[in-house]
Amino acid sequence: MLAGNPHETHPLYWTNPFPEIQTSIIALDQRNDELAIVTPDAIYSVKLGGNPVSLVTNEIEFNTIHTIAVAGPQNYTAVSDSVIYRIGNDKFEKQFSDAGYHFSSIFHYSSNILLGTSLGFALFDGTTFNHIAWGEPIVNSPDIIYLGQDKSMIMASQKGISILKEQNWKNASTVNYTLGLSTQIDLDYLNLNMGSRVSEIVENSDGSIYLGMQKSSSGGILLLDIKASIEIRDVFISPRLLQDKSGQYPLFTVNAMTFDKNGNLWVLSTNQEGKPLSVHFEDHSRNFSLEESGNLLSESMTAITKDNFNRVWVGAKSQLVMYKYTGDVYSPTDEIWVSEEINTGAFNSSVLCLNVSLNNRLWILTPAGLIYKDLQVSETNPVNQTGPKTTNSEIYPYFSNMAFDESSRIRFDPRGNIWITSQNGVHIVSENGEYWPDVNGLNESNSSILSDDVKDVAFDRDEGLAYIATNKGVSVIKIPFAEKKKTYNSVNIFPSPFRIPSSKPMTVDGLKDNSSIKIMTLSGEVLRSISNSEVQGYQAYWDGRDQSGKLVGTGVYLVAIYDKNGASSFEKVAVIRE
């Protein structure tokens, strides 16, 4: 421990105020003139200006404590991950324990203890534990986030599933909370193991939801019915999905899934010995062996998608494999297997993720960066060209200086821009190679997302919202990439009033494509013109300046909006110049 007065002495010259404490400090707290210190060997009480007094010593649980709070003189409360302790002179008592709650912080509130937990706040009065919650999700750091056909939001992780439907959260948890759980939270117990990670969520045309799981002892895929609550309709186990053969308790691992246009569910699983690819429809299933593919398939394949010609693509080290069937896939009249080199020009070109855009462009994420292949109808030569390319026609991947791994995902926003998740933020590029907002994408330092460790992203296509799932929670960000607007009925101008000068511009939201804007006085004088080339998607921005670069004065101004056909709309905005 070091101590000193920063107004008098630089921290480099601070000293240890308690040389008798030579071990590491696990936790400490101060209230009034009382200081509590936790070490691996003892818990100390220190009065202002005094020496440490050992209250209790040599308890093995000291190493599990991460937070302590002072209630009064030699009267402390401490927490480990799931245990509350009361501490005093020669007193170290376990007051409450529940492995379902993970305690993060503690604060003395009146005669109660206020705790931060993995399920929100809780109050503890020394005897009774009460969870404080309303209608909220129990999955707060999802592996995956998905917006369904009916606008329901699904979040999932190894701890359970949370679904937002008609403004109400429904939850199913793999943890059976038995003590003090709030009656305000809609929570059912999910009696199964969801493994180490939820790898994918896909939805069939009938609204059925399928969850893929990695290293689960219960099964590889969950089929959910979410119409009224969260109900499990089916769990995919052997023989539909083969287990690994190692250990006493075999595990199921599904790394990727996709539906084809005929409603067949295609699945990649790394632990299916000799049969990494399978397809399923109702009670039918088929496992593809390496030999059936002419040994083009391999055990290491972890990425799958389908193109607009209903062909299935899977990725492995240094190559892609395309599969096309004719007739019924479970007894096809014809099958075609084609291999395609990845060609990133890098040493490591293994496929991390695949996805196909509406323009039938196959996007391929590798450790070397992001490339694409434009697809064509030919079955024997399905790739027209590979990109992006430099001026001398060499492949030069997007984001070649970024780090990606098998947890990274490729998603498309409503305007077809490509979003790549990573542990250093989310990176966005358009199909013509333009970065947004720049090559650095969105991260903690340049946006409001909660963490650089981005797990997934989903989009509200009508509202232009990006839901960015991170290891610290979900951030919601307004983006200029909603579905194309057909009218000006939803135009919104903010902030209003607009105070200038400002580091953030005024936003005109809800524009049709190719709109242009004029900022005018109430008498019709045009102060600033914003051309359609300056409009980003359905949003335009104004910095409060006229055409010559001078700030306008305080007053009410007209915002005239025009589409490419000459149709117009007028709005008013108040400007306050400070």
pLDDT mean for each 10 residues of the chain (578 residues):
88 90 92 94 93 93 95 94 94 90 88 86 89 82 94 94 90 81 82 94 91 92 89 84 61 92 92 85 92 91 94 90 96 95 72 96 95 95 93 91 94 96 97 94 95 97 93 93 88 94 93 93 95 87 96 96 90 95
d(CA 419, CA 83): 41
d(CA 41, CA 62): 7
Same domain, 446 and 500: no
pLDDT of residue 244: 61
Contact 450, 472 (CB under 8 A): yes
Among 94, 114, 132, the domain boundary falls at 132
- The count of structural domains within the chain is 3
Q: Quick check: is 427 in a domain?
A: yes
Q: Quick check: is 562 in a domain?
A: yes
In this structure, what DSSP letter does residue 553 have?
P
Same domain, 446 and 527: no
Q: Quick check: is 530 in a domain?
A: yes
pLDDT of residue 405: 93
How many residues appear in the chain? 578
CATH number of the domain at 525, please: 2.60.40.1930
3-state secondary structure 119-156: CEEEEECCCCEEEECCCCCCCCCCCEEEECCCCCEEEE
pLDDT of residue 408: 97
Among 70, 104, 132, the domain boundary falls at 132
Preceding amide of 239 cis, omega within 30: yes
Strand partners, 96: 84
What φ, ψ does residue 533 adopt, rounded to 5°? -70, -20
Non-local CB neighbours of 135 within 8 Å, separated by 6+ positions = 168, 169, 184, 185, 186
How would you classify residue 150: left for phi > 0, otherwise alpha for psi between -120 and 50, otherwise beta? alpha
Same domain, 35 and 120: yes
Contact 230, 187 (CB under 8 A): no
Same domain, 464 and 525: no
Contact 267, 225 (CB under 8 A): no
What φ, ψ does residue 64 adopt, rounded to 5°? -90, -15
Q: Count of CB atoms within 10 A of residue 447's CB? A: 16
Q: Count of CB atoms within 10 A of residue 334's CB? A: 9
Q: Count of CB atoms within 10 A of residue 167's CB? A: 6
Tokens 């209903």 identify what position? 310
pLDDT of residue 141: 92
Q: Quick check: is 505 in a domain?
A: yes
Among 132, 157, 185, the domain boundary falls at 132
Q: What is the extent of the structural domain holding 59? A: 11-132
Preceding amide of 52 cis, omega within 30: no
Q: Quick check: is 236 in a domain?
A: no
Same domain, 533 and 461: no
Q: Which of 252, 251, 339 is nearest to 297 (CA)?
A: 339
- H helix count then E strand count, the chain: 0, 48
Non-local CB neighbours of 445 within 8 Å, separated by 6+ positions = none
d(CA 140, CA 134): 14
CATH number of the domain at 45, please: 2.130.10.10
Non-local CB neighbours of 74 within 8 Å, separated by 6+ positions = 34, 45, 53, 55, 88, 89
Q: Quick check: is 266 in a domain?
A: no
d(CA 91, CA 14): 33
Same domain, 466 and 540: no
Q: Which residues of 475-510 are buried (b: 16+ CB within 10 A; e: fewer)?
A: beeebbbbeebeebeebebeeeebebeeeeebbbbb
Same domain, 437 and 537: no
Contact 104, 93 (CB under 8 A): no
Report in angstroms the alpha-carbon separations of 396 from 372, 433, 489, 493: 11, 11, 43, 40
Same domain, 471 and 502: no
Same domain, 496 and 449: no
Same domain, 88 and 15: yes
Tokens 């501490």 identify what position? 87
Q: In what order do the strands lie in the sheet with 492-494?
A: 492-494, 506-509, 539-542
Q: Which of 564, 555, 393 is nearest to 385 (CA)?
A: 393
Contact 516, 497 (CB under 8 A): no
pTM passes above 0.85: no
Tokens 């209608």 identify what position? 135
Q: Quick check: is 219 in a domain?
A: no
Q: Quick check: is 35 in a domain?
A: yes
Same domain, 22 and 126: yes
For residue 79, the number of C-alpha atoms closer than 13 Å in the C-beta half-sphere is 23
Tokens 């440490």 identify what position? 52
Non-local CB neighbours of 498 within 8 Å, separated by 6+ positions = 506, 542, 544, 573, 574, 575, 576
Tokens of 108: 């003395």
Non-local CB neighbours of 50 within 8 Å, separated by 6+ positions = none
Same domain, 467 and 502: no
Preceding amide of 495 cis, omega within 30: yes
* Three-class DSSP category at 567: coil
d(CA 355, CA 412): 9
